[in-house]
Structure 1
Amino acid sequence: MSNSHLFLKSGFIRTPSQNGVGRYVCQLQRVVLKFCKNNGSSRGMRDFIESGLVDFAKNNPGIVVYLKPRRHRTAVISAEYLNGDKQYINCRNFAKEEIIKWLNLLKTQSGNTTGFRYRKLLHTDHPSIQGPWTPYTFKDPAENLAKFPDQDLSRPKHLPKTATEELLELFQRSSLGSPEGKRAE
Structure 2
Amino acid sequence: MSNSNLFLKSGFVRAPLQNGIGRYVCQLQRLTLKFCKSHGASRGIRDFVEQDLVDFAKQNPGVVVYLKPRRHRGPVAVAEYLNGDRVWMSLQNKTHSEITKWIEVLRTQQGDVSGTRLRKYQYTDYPSVQGPWTPFTFKEPELNTASLPDPKFGANNRLPMTATEKLRLMFEQQKLTESDLKTAE
Q: Report TM bin, short chain.
A: 0.5 to 0.7
- What's the counterpart of residue 132 of structure 2? 132
- The Cα RMSD (Å) is 4.4
State the partner residue of 1:52: 51
**Deviation at 1:7?**
3.2
CA distance 1:116–1:36, change in 2 (3 Å)? same
Aligned pairs for 1:98-109 (under 5 A) are: 98-109=98-109
Moved over 6 A (4+): none
**Any gaps of 5 or more consecutive residues in structure 2?**
none
Contact 1:28/1:106, CA 8 A, preserved across alignment: no
Aligned pair partner of 1:65 in 64, 67, 82: 67
Within 2, Cα distance between the matches of 1:75 and 1:124?
A: 45
Aligned residues: 172
CA contact (8 A) 1:36 1:75 kept: no
2:57–2:65 Cα contact (<8 Å) kept: no
SS of the residue corresponding to residue 103 of structure 1 reads: helix
Task: Give matches, 1:3-152, under 5 Å.
Answer: 3-15=3-15, 27-35=28-36, 37-39=38-40, 41-49=41-49, 51-52=50-51, 55=54, 59=58, 62-70=64-72, 74-81=74-81, 84-137=84-137, 141=140, 144=143, 148-150=148-150, 152=154
What's the % identity of the aligned pairs? 40
Give the TM-score taking structure 2 as reference length.
Answer: 0.61
Q: What is the TM-score with the length of structure 1 in the denominator?
A: 0.61
> Which deviations, in whole Å up to 9, do the C-alpha atoms of 1:40-67 show, x marking residues without a partner?
x433234334x23762686468322212
In the TM superposition, residue 183 of structure 1 has moved relative to its aligned partner by 6.4
Q: Could you tell me whether the CA contact under 8 Å between 1:28 and 1:80 is conserved in 2? A: yes
